[in-house]
Chain A
Amino acid sequence: MGGFQWIGPLTETMPQRHKHDNSGDPPRRYLAIVPVFNEGASVRKVVNRLRRALPDFDVIVIDDGSTDDTVRQVPSDVPVVSLPFNLGIGGAMQTGYRYAALHGYEIAVQVDGDGQHRPSEVRRLVDHLLEGHSDLVVGSRFLEPSGYRQSPVRKLGAWMLRALIRTLCGLYMTDCTSGFRAANRRVIRAFAHWYPEDYPEPEVVLLLKRAGYQITELPVRMRHRRTGRSSISLMRGVFYMIKVGVCLILDMVREPWPTGKVGQPINDEEYAKDDYIQEPDSGRLRWHPPAAGGSPPAHV
């Protein structure tokens, strides 16, 4: 790659699928975000499965600073956002949501790069979202018996998080740590604006609920991880529980997204006053950061 040259604003249509650019088909509305970190053994299979099962989806891979050959394993016509250093799962996911917001996608689906999430289940999540009854649909392993096994430590942790979330906001989630989620445009914009850095899934559920978004669960089947390693070991699991527990309690006084008043449904127009400007023709968002030296974003 030669020297950096400016090639136009971020809101231009990206030449990510030449077939569609040439045919003049309307741009796709759905995006599958695949965050990966050293998933070279599985990422190609996951991406190919996604493209076969979901031909009407765009797929983007977010490489969170992998040190193996993950990026080389991704098919060359699939966009890969390579982060310059490891940001963690929260930073990687927010990159995907920021990409979706900047390009005007209506629905974004998180699909893990380790192959645990089945592409065939994505369609069900999206269909449920399109019915309009919810803003975020979470694929749950435990809503119905699916044969998915967890270690006792993980079971205990999940139970504690469930109980905490239910106590704090009254929402009962059977699988609040599931990363298999589909979000509509309102949630995409909220996540592009702010997203927790570490272990974001439970926090996001609580904050969305408090901000007036609708969250539902759908039963899904998941595979067990075959390659790579989970990011949560035993010791990290204990740390995870303490950290997430404290964060959930602190989230009761936090308002990361423009809401006006916590508990009230958000007003989409509020986003236009903040970091993003919506283009009237395409509906795409243009990122408009505060001027240097100005006041920090509201969520800081």
Chain B
Amino acid sequence: MIGLPFLGLAFWPGGVAWMAGKFNIYYPTFALICVSLFLFLLVFELLTIVSVQDQKITALAQLVGILMEKQRLAEPEHRAAAEVEEESVV
């Protein structure tokens, strides 16, 4: 996604000057810097969203694991098997 605007500028080098003219930017190079900054902020925002989602997925996976174990332990067949094993250990 970052590369796309730059790919476009590679095919249309005059685009920088055109854009600078549209925004009344005296030095066209500044327009390029502005585009780069915008893209950087965009990527930063996306990474932040991914990070938050990652943490939520991790928390959910952990709680799913804990809940599944809690359910397994509550099942009658598990209780019976555990009691047999415990007696054999004793």
Contacts and interface: CB of A to CB of B under 8 A. Distances in A.
Interface of A: 1, 4-5, 7, 10, 12, 14-16, 18-19, 62, 75-77, 79-85, 87, 91, 94-95, 98-99, 102, 197, 287, 289, 296-297, 300
B56 to A, nearest CB: 8
Interface in B32-90: 48, 51-52, 55, 58-59, 61-75, 78-79, 81-83, 85-86
Contact of A15 (B59, B79, B81): B79
A7 B62 CA distance: 17
B85 A84 contact: no
B73 A82 contact: no
Given A79-B73, A84-B61, A297-B55, A98 B79 contact: no
A94 B58 CA distance: 10
Contacts of A95: 62, 65-66
| Interface SS of B by simple majority | helix
Nearest to B74: A7
Interface residues of B, number: 28
A98 B61 contact: no
A102 B78 CA distance: 22
A44 B73 CA distance: 19
Contact of A18 (B51, B65, B83): B83
B65 A14 contact: no
A87 B58 contact: yes
Nearest to A62: B65
Contact of B68 (A82, A85, A300): A82
Contacts of B51: 300
Contact of A7 (B64, B65, B71, B79): B71
B34 to A, nearest CB: 28
Nearest to A83: B65
B69 A77 contact: no
Contacts of A83: 61-62, 64-65
Q: List the 4 closest pairs (A to B, CB-CB), nearest first.
A: A77-B82, A81-B65, A95-B62, A83-B65
A181 B16 CA distance: 58
21 contacts: A1-B72, A4-B71, A7-B70, A7-B71, A10-B66, A10-B67, A12-B70, A14-B73, A18-B79, A76-B78, A76-B85, A77-B85, A79-B73, A81-B65, A82-B69, A95-B65, A98-B62, A102-B66, A289-B59, A296-B55, A300-B48
A287 B68 CA distance: 16
Contacts of A4: 71
A91 B63 CA distance: 11
B82 A76 contact: yes
A84 B65 contact: yes
A10 B64 CA distance: 11
A139 B21 CA distance: 66
Contacts of B64: 83-84
B66 A77 contact: no
Contacts of B86: 18-19, 77
B53 to A, nearest CB: 10
Contacts of A12: 70
Contacts of A76: 78, 81-82, 85
A80 B83 CA distance: 17
B69 A91 contact: no
Nearest to B62: A95
